[in-house]
Amino acid sequence: MTTVKSSNLGYPRLGEHREWKKLLESYWKGDVTEKEFHATSKEIRLTNLKKQIDAGIDIVPVADNSNYDHVLDTSVAFNIVPTRFGSYTKKLTLDQYYDIARGNKDNVAADMTKWFNINYHYTVPEFDNTQPRLLENRWLKYWQEAKNELGVNGKPVIVGPVTLIKLGKLHGDYVSTEKDIDILLDSILPLYQQVFKELQDAGVDWVQLDEPSLVKVAHEEEVKPYRRAVEALRAAAPKLNIELQTYFDAIDPYQSVVNLPVQAVGLDFVNGNGENLRHIREFGFPKEKILAAGVIDGHNVWTADLSKKLQLVTELQGISSELWIQPSNTLLHVPITTKYETAAAPELLGGLAFADEKLPEIVTLTQTLNGDDTRVSFTENAAALKALNESKARNNVTVQTAIKNLDQSHVERHSTYAERSKLQQAQLHLPKLPTTTIGSFPQSTEVRAKRAAWRKGHLTDDQYDAFIKLETTRWIKLQEDLGLDVLVHGEFERTDMVEYFGQKLDGFYATQNGWVQSYGSRGVRPPVIFGDVDYIEPITVAASTYAQSQTEKPVKGMLTAPLTIINWSFVRNDIKRADVQNQIALALRQEVINLEKAGINIIQVDEPALREGLPLKKRNWQNYLDEAVYSFKITTTGVRDETQIHTHMCYSDFEDIISTISDLDADVISIETSRSHGEIISAFEAVDYDKQIGLGVYDIHSPRIPTVEEIADNIRRGLKVIDDKQFWVNPDCGLKTRNEEQTLSALANLEKARNTVLTELEAEA
């Protein structure tokens, strides 16, 4: 009979009450010593491990914790440190570690980008001139801690060598060629071998080798470096069992991957359009290996349909001689527990499963396959799902009818961009190289305190609104003093650009404590889209019109676009994703029209997650991009030609979607570029981009203040490929995470840099 065990791949880091986030920020402020930091970190780690043990998980991950980001942890353990920060011969101090992540007064931070196609950021390894050496076997350290403190023989989790290489950059480009991969493997494989040998010698049974980049491999030939890596690791530690873990999609060269020399292979049976299941049905699974089946969704928050999952795992049990039941990916990407969601309607709460609720689902399926009586769990599960699906929220006839009638809607602007731009300039009278910001200003301690007091009922609605207006007025004046050309209201009423809209639209649930790590100490609370999305009342109109009343300069209305809301939310999984996206678009269209009616002449509809959400396999790109363009146009095409539509996008590698960016038909686009050192500019060299664009000229993620000359150089480089009549000057993202001094100093330098370049252009004319 097939042996079945329960397994987990990773657990959220933030803590039930964001203890980890608060610890990091206290350390950065100097309120906590390094010794105190490590002591509290240990408490959080052990609490997280004990929860998994108590839930009944047989195979518990260790070393999945981090002081900022697990890719950065792996890099610094191997001295893969950007050379501008130096080279080390011993373990980095916390300050040295955070210099790489956040930058310092002398050096810009390491590049940061999205982890595959989800809303988690990782720190990009830089392999230029590095001298890899093992500075710390962190995986052994945390295994020993779990063994000594809790008596558990955990499963260390490590980013695999090929994925680490492919996530990194060499000479400014992401590593992709076979030659570069082989050369870099020569330098880092011996370090991995040393780690694995030390783990084996200490008595570790299993190690989880995360190679998620395998899901992007299209051909058998591309599996070679992975084979080389695991063969080297097996040679170094022949008694150490390896679970080769993949996730986020299916494996194309299935037979080559499952036959690699490892003891277990982890496959994702949630994502990938069922392709992994089709492969296993067609080709079977090696009898000598364990199938680690990712059947519980690790990237969404819905209670699993246990009856359907049981059918799946029963089929897999008949195919594999040994089976592990686990989530599709680490639970890092979901909130921790639903027990604080006291405001959720009963039918919704019954349908939610955060990390702590997913663990029992894994255990229940495991126990059922092992012959235990779990009938009560299945009965309760079926009742909860039935209540949610029959709820009023999921059966809004008006919204469902509007979606069916979409084909009859007009989703194009009235005139071409060339015609619109003339009308817009006649109305706005903007100078050459206009300056603006992306939208948000610092969420100061006072702003957060006032919001918290209001939520607790310690401030009335009128008192809170009065404070927001005072803060808005103050920042409008600050922007005017700086000399910015197009102003923003600052978004002081918003906690998050997606969560805020989730609180204002029907069909969304704004969680009370559903925090998820985005990067470093940054936590977000993705809204839960559980029902049909409907427009209730104006959302941003009052804030935008108030700000506009305080100045003669144009103020942008600020919205988040449908695809980004989808990508940064937990989306219902009972209907097509595109239908949910278009429901949001129809609701936002009403908001855009209402902003225009209220006298707002520039409306920014941000789509920062467009590029990051691309499917991992290129064959699925076009459908995704077509749906993105369609929903964006539903949102933006109800306005007059004179109304200027802006959008904002994050991160590099836009070469493949330049045509999509143009198809959005936004009048002005701003793109985050500074952390990728301007490489994105090359994407525009090969295209005749005819609309207006702002290439972010400084990095807002770092507390470092850019110099005037640095910003001027970034402007000059942009002007090599973008005509000065099309070029806007702006930071690369919102300024919510910076403090006031940093923000004003950086924007003052931005304004000086723009004026410097303007003077140069006038001299050349």
Q: Do the annotations mark residue 18 as ligand-binding?
A: yes
Q: Do the annotations mark residue 115 as ligand-binding?
A: no
614 token code pair: 């691309």
| Judgement on whether residues 472 and 350 belong to the same structural domain of the protein | no
Q: Do the annotations mark residue 648 as ligand-binding?
A: yes
379 inside domain: no
| Judgement on whether residues 452 and 356 belong to the same structural domain of the protein | no
| Judgement on whether residues 245 and 174 belong to the same structural domain of the protein | yes
Is the distance from CB of 248 to CB of 212 less than 8 angstroms?
yes
Q: Do the annotations mark residue 28 as ligand-binding?
A: no
| Judgement on whether residues 207 and 344 belong to the same structural domain of the protein | yes
Return the HEC string of 103-125. Answer: CCCCCCCCCEEECCCCCCEEECC
374 inside domain: no
Is the distance from CB of 665 to CB of 704 less than 8 angstroms?
no
Query: In total, how many domains does the chain have?
Result: 2
| Judgement on whether residues 317 and 439 belong to the same structural domain of the protein | no
Catalytic annotation on 701?
A: yes
Q: Do the annotations mark residue 612 as ligand-binding?
A: yes
| Judgement on whether residues 354 and 415 belong to the same structural domain of the protein | no
Q: Which residues in the chain come in under a pLDDT of 50?
A: 677
Residue 677: the pLDDT is: 47
Q: Do the annotations mark residue 114 as ligand-binding?
A: yes
Is the distance from CB of 335 to CB of 353 less than 8 angstroms?
no
Domain that holds residue 433: 405-764
For position 605, which CATH number holds? 3.20.20.210
Alpha-carbon span 177 to 662, nearest angstrom = 30
Q: Do the annotations mark residue 341 as ligand-binding?
A: no
| Judgement on whether residues 354 and 460 belong to the same structural domain of the protein | no
Q: Do the annotations mark residue 663 as ligand-binding?
A: yes
Residue 763: the pLDDT is: 93
563 inside domain: yes
109 inside domain: no
Residues in the chain, overall count: 765
| Judgement on whether residues 728 and 586 belong to the same structural domain of the protein | yes
Residue 652: the pLDDT is: 54
Q: Do the annotations mark residue 626 as ligand-binding?
A: no
Q: Do the annotations mark residue 173 as ligand-binding?
A: no
Is the distance from CB of 595 to CB of 635 less than 8 angstroms?
no
86 inside domain: no
Catalytic residue among 70, 299, 646, 701: 701
Contacts with 97 (C-beta within 8 Å, 6 or more apart), sequence order: 67, 68, 72, 76
Q: Do the annotations mark residue 119 as ligand-binding?
A: yes
| Judgement on whether residues 329 and 453 belong to the same structural domain of the protein | no
Phi-psi category of residue 458: left, alpha or beta, with phi > 0 → left and psi -120 to 50 → alpha: alpha
CA dist 118 to 566, 574, 582, 609, Å? 11, 20, 20, 9
| Judgement on whether residues 463 and 577 belong to the same structural domain of the protein | yes
| Judgement on whether residues 599 and 507 belong to the same structural domain of the protein | yes
Domain stop point among 366, 392, 422: 366
Alpha helices in 619-723 (DSSP H): 621-636, 658-663, 708-719
447 inside domain: yes
| Judgement on whether residues 432 and 362 belong to the same structural domain of the protein | no
Q: Do the annotations mark residue 514 as ligand-binding?
A: no
517 inside domain: yes
542 inside domain: yes
Domain stop point among 308, 335, 366: 366
